[in-house]
Amino acid sequence: PHLRVIGHAMTGVLRGEYDRLLIVTPPQVGKSTLVAEWGPFWWLANRPRDDIVIASYGLDLALDRSKGVRQRLADYGADYDLVTRPGSEAAHDWELLSGGHLRATGVQGGLSGFSANLLIVDDPHADRAQAESPRMRRAVHDWLSSTASKRLQPDIGVCVCIMTRWHENDF
């Protein structure tokens, strides 16, 4: 039932009903698979020219999400005219023939020269220890409020954050 609620919320984001969405649930309930893997595929099926950024506490997790999106493109993309541009095989940065683009990065990673219609932040903190660190909480906040938020397309960029709450002052 919670995935249905998340799906309805994502539909509201796509429709432009709101431009920020925070999804908070316990670990291992399917929120990241739904939003950070199926979500970009679904978004591109509806808006094939949009730019998407997937960020996570570490580049490895963001790359896994990007690879998940690419697998969905391989499995179902032809049904939606979603074709990866030849020569665009990098897991962290790839493009569709339609013009859509996906960039995967770690939180605190660079995004210079890249804009986003959709920013997905999947687990900004790796675990409780990281979330309890004032330095790490500040670094995540600073990255989101400076680097990431400045890459959102003016008036049309949206941010979706998926996370487990670890600390009362976390992201």
Q: What's the pLDDT tens digit per position in 68-107?
A: 999 999 999 999 999 999 998 888 999 999 999 999 999 8
H-only helix segments in the chain: 2-15, 31-32, 39-46, 59-76, 128-132, 134-143
Assigned token pair, 100: 């859509």
Do the strands 101-106 and 93-95 form a parallel or antiparallel pair, or are they unpaired?
antiparallel
Give pLDDT tens digits for 99-129: 999 999 998 888 888 889 999 999 999 888 9
What is the spatial distance between Cα 131 and Cα 171, in angstroms, rounded to a whole number?
A: 8
14-35 residue pLDDT tens:
999 999 999 998 888 888 999 9
Which whole number is the average pLDDT over 48-71?
Answer: 95
Give the amino acid at 134: P
CB within 8 A of 149, min separation 6: which ones? 119, 159
Packing angle between helix 59-76 and helix 39-46, nearest 10 degrees? Answer: 50
